[in-house]
Amino acid sequence: MQEKFKQLVETASKIIIIQADNPDADSLGSALALEHIVGDLGKNVELYCGVDMPGYLHYMSGWDRVKKDLPTKFDASIIVDASTTTLLEKLDQAGQLGWVKARPTAVLDHHAIVENKIDFAEVVICDGELSSTGELIYNLASSLGWAINTEAGGHIMSAILGDTQGLTNDLASAATYRAMAALTEAGVSRPLLEELRREYSKMPPEIFRYKGELIARTDLTAGGRIATVTIPQTEINTFSPLYNPAPLIQNDMLQTTGVLLSIVFKQYDDGKVTAAIRANQGAAVAGRLAEKMGGGGHAYASGFKVTNGRPFNEVRSECLEFATHLLDTLDKEPSDETVQHAIAS
């Protein structure tokens, strides 16, 4: 597949790098890194995402080059950090997914557990054993002999740190640390990245007060092991342009004694329900929970979307019931990592 990917890139003049509709540090970091790597090969590169980049990701230089309008003329596309058409809803709604299907497409991802796989891609490189798509891109570029300049290296490091929760979960393998060391030796400064991330993570006063409201509304279930909060459409409209409510509250939920899983539900007026799922070390079940609900992800970070009009309370109850089951059987069932390794092999 690596040679097919190399050929796809080499034969294209203009390449679109596509992120899913739920951008995070891994997807944005991967897209920006590829922009530099492929751009240094002499290619014309543009970046696309169907939604605005969340404010907390603005510490990555180049985030403002990501456009919400898909160019009409391009030779190939690379979809990063997503293997499912479910997360390309904006493209589909705009009638532009057909444009992508009509041209050579590559998928670079590390999520082994997905629904509605992107079956039109002629190149799919997905390694569920890797910490992040950023690490996959580092390995791929190194294997192909493509240069990784300092800016690209910084974006790769940000991508890795994003999905490994700052190298604190066991998605980070020995190979991940070796990649981080190599990037550091190449001149990437993790302290500088962390300083930038913290600066852009600062909240305006109204978001600080809103965070307090979310904390007050957080429910603890399953004997205190699952923390949940629900964001209604009115709050999505009001606060999302300033700060995405999920990352605003989710880490604090996981820092609560006894909590193993945090779930942030978003309830839309049109009946759509989405959920962002994060897991603490030792409770690597986020991917299987999302898969059960029709979504996907990896052991510690995943999500799902329900658009069939099912009542919110029904969706929430099913999610919590299965989440409780997964936690109750942690010692009896294989973890997401075991499942991913089995799939990858």
- pLDDT at residue 342 greater than cutoff 50: no
Q: What pTM did the predictor assign?
A: 0.81
18 secondary structure, DSSP code: E
Residue at 68: amino acid letter: K
Residue 75: CB atoms within 10 Å: 16
Average pLDDT (194-214) is: 92
Q: Which residue has the higher pLDDT, 344 or 57?
A: 57
| Cα distance between residue 155 and residue 300, in whole Å | 21
Residue 341: CB atoms within 10 Å: 14
Which pLDDT value is given to residue 215?
97
Q: For residue 340, what pLDDT band results from cuts at 50, 70 and 90? A: very low
Q: Tally DSSP H helices, then E strands, for the chain.
A: 14, 12
Average pLDDT (156-173) is: 91
- pLDDT at residue 84 greater than cutoff 90: no
Which pLDDT value is given to residue 165?
84
Which pLDDT value is given to residue 114?
63
Residue 220, exposed/middle/buried by CB under 10 A (0-12, 13-18, 19+)?
middle
Angle at 244 between CA 238 and CA 247, to 5 degrees: 145
Query: How many Cα atoms sit within 13 Å of 67 on the Cβ side?
Result: 9
**3-class secondary structure, 314:** helix
Per-domain boundaries in the chain: 2-198, 205-337
**3-class secondary structure, 276:** strand
- pLDDT at residue 66 greater than cutoff 80: yes
188 secondary structure, DSSP code: -
In this structure, whether the domain defined by 205-337 belongs to CATH 3.40.50.300 is answered with no
| Cα distance between residue 12 and residue 2, in whole Å | 16
Token pair, residue 284, equals: 């690597």
Which pLDDT value is given to residue 115?
66
Which pLDDT value is given to residue 242?
83
Rounded to the nearest integer, the mean pLDDT of the chain is: 91
Average pLDDT (69-73) is: 91
**3-class secondary structure, 327:** helix
Nearest to 160 by CA among 18, 29, 285, 248: 29
- pLDDT at residue 344 greater than cutoff 60: no
Token pair, residue 314, equals: 């029904």
| Cα distance between residue 319 and residue 265, in whole Å | 10
Which pLDDT value is given to residue 111?
81
Q: For residue 203, what pLDDT band results from cuts at 50, 70 and 90? A: confident
Average pLDDT (87-109) is: 91
Average pLDDT (63-79) is: 95
Q: For residue 301, what pLDDT band results from cuts at 50, 70 and 90? A: confident
Least confidently predicted of 84-88, 117-121, 142-146, 176-180:
84-88
Superfamily of domain 2-198: inorganic pyrophosphatase (n-terminal core) (3.90.1640.10)
- Can you name the residues that pair with 273 across neighbouring β-strands? 267, 306
Q: Do 29 and 136 meet the contact criterion of CB atoms below 8 Å apart?
A: no
Residue entry with tokens 């898909």: 70
Q: In this predicted model, what pLDDT tens digit does every residue of 14-42 receive, in sequence order?
A: 999 999 988 999 999 999 999 999 999 99
Residue 49: CB atoms within 10 Å: 23
Q: For residue 333, what pLDDT band results from cuts at 50, 70 and 90? A: low
Nearest to 228 by CA among 203, 257, 259: 259
Residue at 319: amino acid letter: C
Nearest to 80 by CA among 148, 132, 130, 31: 31
Q: Do 77 and 103 meet the contact criterion of CB atoms below 8 Å apart?
A: yes
